[in-house]
Structure 1
């Protein structure tokens, strides 16, 4: 034993490094290790003689080291069997990050010395301490006088997907704030977000993450952040000095401005990737328990080289502890789960009753947060839209594709379009779930921006250096006669109108809308629909030096979002209608809906079967009969005049796209558009 330090038994709870009255308590899960060592580092970075843990209880190694203080840098080394065929990869030459570390000394950068196993399957002999960040002891508490959580009414909720760096990098703010957590809550950032009238900021990943080996070799960076190495440590590259405090300040600043904040989290895989890549944390501590495997091979249900075994009690505890930390200490109001089907797998199959999902829903803290699932992965039966428990909202790609097809003018698209408008009840069934469980979106980070959706037929991903093979091949897009940017005013007007039609459809649909940050700025990624490795002007939002056409387009789009968000908040029926044939609402008075054709007559069976139909309208009447809303969608560019459904009533225009107007008790459509009025 290293005689420079006194140790005591300590406690197996809580996991991680905890400041005590007399020193630091360390508790680490490593069930199959023969011995676990604590490696302390002096201020000059020199590693001191390892301290062997003196207790192991229920697979948890623990001890208290007396005299240590907050700020101490440390790592772990694990001794045990090296049997790759049994997923045991213990290698004392590898310095390991504490899975519960709240801060790391640096950003993890891939290095070949991090590997525990060679490509030939032998023990990798190189020591990795020189290329692995050190864990840092931090005693983190919530900021004092934290703003209260914003109480968002579910029917008014609208998600705005925001990348910390991409949002703030080009903001007209002090240079040191650009690209940072604090830049997001600058006066310019907050002012812009408040103008949109949205309720909920969905932050793209802020866990400390690593650039993948193949990107590093190509001279590219992971920009999106979906490659975490820690489920607790905050990504340091978005901070000026202290990432923990600055992240907390960002959350509190957004809350103070009236926003709910949810965090996009990646619990389905880690940056350790394939078996012969990095062994810097979970792989070196408990590879057989943290990762899914069968017959000596990883089960790669994520496409990222590994997937976390969310059926393992070790992983379930880690994920739930991480979630509570981000809620209770860091201040977030909920989560969006990347590749969420992995979180719902048991041994291998998906189940809505899986242990992790049930653990989250029974937790008195986590169950009260906003929980959004990406309901798929690439494993067997990996598509599970509509199958998660009711406590989860779910991203609905069926909505995305149907709305894109309708506005592109695909034949026979009206019936499915109507189904999507009404909350996708073929997936989110009446009597079981509200339409609000459907997170409707037209654009997300992984795909075209809305500006590119109306400007490109074909992806342009050459900058990713994969010979344009990556990203979606079928984008259901429309370029209106020119591929990419153009000076043609007529094409520009058509593209802007199409963006307004998309945005109006999104915000007039039953369900919970999701807006991709930057779409309100008419942001283009130059046709790149998989910009995960573009940390540059392709992805950073542009705020200044736009020409007058772009400036005007931005204002019209932003006004559309703000206006329609006001309507959603004022009239909940626009987001969640309560029909008499839905048992979910049998305790309430029923609202009414009627589907209408271009003559303002009830849609007939023949109307629904007409595969050349380009028009659909509906009226919504709340149970108190205080108003009736007339909503119209027309995707053709031939002029059309539509009589009012009720010629004897006054109609107040609430919103209309540029080509639509009212005269003589008729709605005149010069070309495609969206309309909502109130009788």
Structure 2
């Protein structure tokens, strides 16, 4: 192939001396500098396209320093479409591909369109299938992370499309888009709910897997990236970059943190037989963990992600790329933090997880990133992949132990009372005193990859036939209960019990020590009809239904009330004990556990499998001589029958007010109820009393 090709009679593009830094396409006063990392190339070509994606020039980069190819091309301006082609060194070609494959620049900040798998367009020259990078100008504004105090943080997980696709106040043309997600009605709902941090499912460009496309499905969630910089075009009306950035700015101005769910553990290129889209053609052996066997003539992609490949985070180029992408999303796009999918991969060095891995250290010392909110999904499927509690002290971690215990306790499972108390008080068996802050535990009862809250109390079996995998996909261990009927029902007794259990689960989530994580739509009683793996459902199974029934309206009001209760009282937000020296703060003077007869809990009581009741008395430190110590009493009964409680601490009715009763539909009713030391706790209920 010739070094320079023009596809028109007039060729305004000339190759000039360039700079090895920075990577990607960078405009300057001479044109555009291109710097590409490609260690095993015989030649690297920059391909330019017009606005119809028709090729107009192909220019071979002439300068190389070690593995970096670079050069400056004149007359290239913002908005120019481009791609890359590589002629590999045959003796180092781990992947079977040729110069015909058009490659996406890993540092492209914008893509011309969404990428969709098409086997016919991929054959031979793949440029018809592969979107083009779009050259952008310099940022006109730089941001710092806008974080909220850790004790106040309540995370709300949402999908850009599902959030607004059915919203009646959002114009039709904006539904399911970045513009729709910033509609005042959506912002108002989130503000009224009381959450502080919006965690969006992946916004980086992705491609649905070929096996899903072949079945007429898609990857709705977006956990299959092709690029770590470019905003996903599927959610754009016109300009994904501009609209995504404007949406994030709008959330910032409304006072929210925006947390970006990122996938730095694999890409859409899958394994050895997957498509060549970007990294495989440029630096496969550096981008992915690959093993070569003398008995085979091909590379074996190690699959710790379950998606065909695993990013080689220990490689210096990939570390730089990940850090550059994070800085870009913080400083230029305006996000305040990240939730890392399968985050154990980030700590893998020599294929083993290390809690002090070099990438963690780089993030911690980075002046921009060290102030961002960092949330780990603390596992992958590789050896030693479950690492809950073993991330750096400044990180938060998704706590699946909290999820399973709280679900099981309220379902009525035995032998969970002691663990439930531990989860309620910050999971200090996992996040140790003196070493980790209380908010390190990201508590959740539901997440995007499982049942919704409404389905958790409505289904005991997964119903995933719509995924076209014969119901084999998705978890079988859901710790759910349907209370007598599988799925929706007209039985008023079953409905009432389900609503009460939803209140129990949500109240426990919000009032437990740690960082609450709310699955978006749970407050609206969203259902996926029992599908616990709706990753491929781009339809009403995943879209929020904003037309609420009376029961749904009542539950939304309850969610708002409980969140406000937490946010109004610092003792409920974060408890600081004298024996926890992680910080020198202290706001708890007394914490005492009681049996329902009013006597103190003994060690044997925590392992008594027949008891499902207890009380917790919290006394705050005295902040001034004039102000009384604030006190709270939690009373909990997860049994299937009502239980008598006799608590001397509540024997003075004029000193206490009931602030929460999950047996009540309307929480205003509980505030006027008479309080006595001897009372009956309804089955499946929680009460919270505050001193006055």
Task: Identify whether the pair has TM-score above 0.5, normalized to the shorter chain.
Answer: yes
Shift of 1:670: 2.5
- Residues 376 and 385 of structure 1 are in contact (CA less than 8 Å); yes or no, is this contact kept in structure 2? yes
Shift of 1:328: 0.6
- Residues 95 and 272 of structure 2 are in contact (CA less than 8 Å); yes or no, is this contact kept in structure 1? no
2:663 aligned residue: 658
SS in 1 for 2:243: helix
1:225 corresponds to which of 219, 222, 225: 222
The question of 1:96 aligning with 2:103 is answered yes
SS in 1 for 2:353: coil
After superposing on structure 2, the runs of 4+ consecutive aligned residues of structure 1 that deviate more than 4 Å are 148-151, 586-590, 659-662
CA distance in 2, matches of 1:362, 1:113: 47
CA distance in 2, matches of 1:201, 1:324: 19
1:394 aligned residue: 397
- Residues 407 and 480 of structure 2 are in contact (CA less than 8 Å); yes or no, is this contact kept in structure 1? yes
2:539 aligned residue: 536
1:270 aligned residue: 267
SS in 1 for 2:614: strand
2:118 corresponds to which of 106, 111, 122: 111
CA distance in 2, matches of 1:472, 1:575: 32
2:172 corresponds to which of 175, 178, 190: 175
CA distance in 1, matches of 2:554, 2:644: 24
- Residues 563 and 655 of structure 1 are in contact (CA less than 8 Å); yes or no, is this contact kept in structure 2? no
Shift of 1:75: 0.8
SS in 2 for 1:678: strand
- Residues 434 and 576 of structure 1 are in contact (CA less than 8 Å); yes or no, is this contact kept in structure 2? no
- Residues 289 and 309 of structure 1 are in contact (CA less than 8 Å); yes or no, is this contact kept in structure 2? yes
- Residues 140 and 329 of structure 1 are in contact (CA less than 8 Å); yes or no, is this contact kept in structure 2? no
- Residues 436 and 575 of structure 1 are in contact (CA less than 8 Å); yes or no, is this contact kept in structure 2? no
Shift of 1:589: 6.3
Structural mapping, 1:186-585, within 5 Å: 186-295=183-292, 296-544=299-547, 546=548, 551-585=549-583
Indicate how the Cα distance of structure 1 residues 631 and 442 shifts in structure 2: closer, same or farther if over 3 A, else same. same
1:672 corresponds to which of 673, 678, 684: 684
The question of 1:637 aligning with 2:643 is answered no
CA distance in 1, matches of 2:97, 2:356: 33
Structure 1 length as normaliser, TM-score? 0.94
Shift of 1:470: 0.3
SS in 2 for 1:343: helix
CA distance in 2, matches of 1:261, 1:107: 23
CA distance in 1, matches of 2:247, 2:127: 33
Shift of 1:514: 0.2
SS in 2 for 1:394: strand
CA distance in 1, matches of 2:484, 2:20: 66
1:160 aligned residue: 156
SS in 1 for 2:538: coil
Indicate how the Cα distance of structure 1 residues 142 and 520 shifts in structure 2: closer, same or farther if over 3 A, else same. farther
CA distance in 2, matches of 1:662, 1:467: 54
| Structure 1, gaps ≥5 residues long | 116-124
Q: Say which is worse superposed, 563-572 or 533-542, in terms of deviation.
A: 563-572
CA distance in 2, matches of 1:140, 1:426: 48
Shift of 1:565: 2.2
Indicate how the Cα distance of structure 1 residues 645 and 299 shifts in structure 2: closer, same or farther if over 3 A, else same. farther
CA distance in 2, matches of 1:511, 1:399: 10
Q: Say which is worse superposed, 404-413 or 630-639, in terms of deviation.
A: 630-639
Shift of 1:89: 4.8
- Residues 142 and 331 of structure 1 are in contact (CA less than 8 Å); yes or no, is this contact kept in structure 2? no
- Residues 657 and 675 of structure 2 are in contact (CA less than 8 Å); yes or no, is this contact kept in structure 1? no
- Residues 164 and 180 of structure 2 are in contact (CA less than 8 Å); yes or no, is this contact kept in structure 1? yes
Q: Say which is worse superposed, 661-670 or 428-437, in terms of deviation.
A: 661-670
CA distance in 2, matches of 1:153, 1:522: 29
1:13 aligned residue: 21
Indicate how the Cα distance of structure 1 residues 149 and 382 shifts in structure 2: closer, same or farther if over 3 A, else same. closer
Deviation per residue, 1:422-449 (Å, 9 max, x gap): 1111110111001210000000000000
- Residues 182 and 250 of structure 1 are in contact (CA less than 8 Å); yes or no, is this contact kept in structure 2? yes
Shift of 1:150: 4.4
Indicate how the Cα distance of structure 1 residues 619 and 410 shifts in structure 2: closer, same or farther if over 3 A, else same. same
CA distance in 2, matches of 1:605, 1:269: 46
Shift of 1:102: 1.2
- Residues 648 and 677 of structure 2 are in contact (CA less than 8 Å); yes or no, is this contact kept in structure 1? no
- Residues 47 and 59 of structure 2 are in contact (CA less than 8 Å); yes or no, is this contact kept in structure 1? yes
2:72 aligned residue: 64
Shift of 1:139: 1.6
- Residues 653 and 677 of structure 1 are in contact (CA less than 8 Å); yes or no, is this contact kept in structure 2? yes
CA distance in 2, matches of 1:142, 1:202: 25
CA distance in 1, matches of 2:118, 2:17: 36
Shift of 1:573: 2.5
Deviation per residue, 1:34-88 (Å, 9 max, x gap): 221111123443324421112112422111101111111111111123458x735
| RMSD of aligned residue pairs (Cα, Å) | 1.9
2:137 corresponds to which of 128, 136, 139: 139
Indicate how the Cα distance of structure 1 residues 583 and 96 shifts in structure 2: closer, same or farther if over 3 A, else same. same
- Residues 81 and 88 of structure 1 are in contact (CA less than 8 Å); yes or no, is this contact kept in structure 2? no
Q: Say which is worse superposed, 594-603 or 397-406, in terms of deviation.
A: 594-603
Indicate how the Cα distance of structure 1 residues 360 and 473 shifts in structure 2: closer, same or farther if over 3 A, else same. same
- Residues 571 and 587 of structure 2 are in contact (CA less than 8 Å); yes or no, is this contact kept in structure 1? no
CA distance in 2, matches of 1:216, 1:88: 23
CA distance in 1, matches of 2:283, 2:331: 27
Indicate how the Cα distance of structure 1 residues 672 and 329 shifts in structure 2: closer, same or farther if over 3 A, else same. same
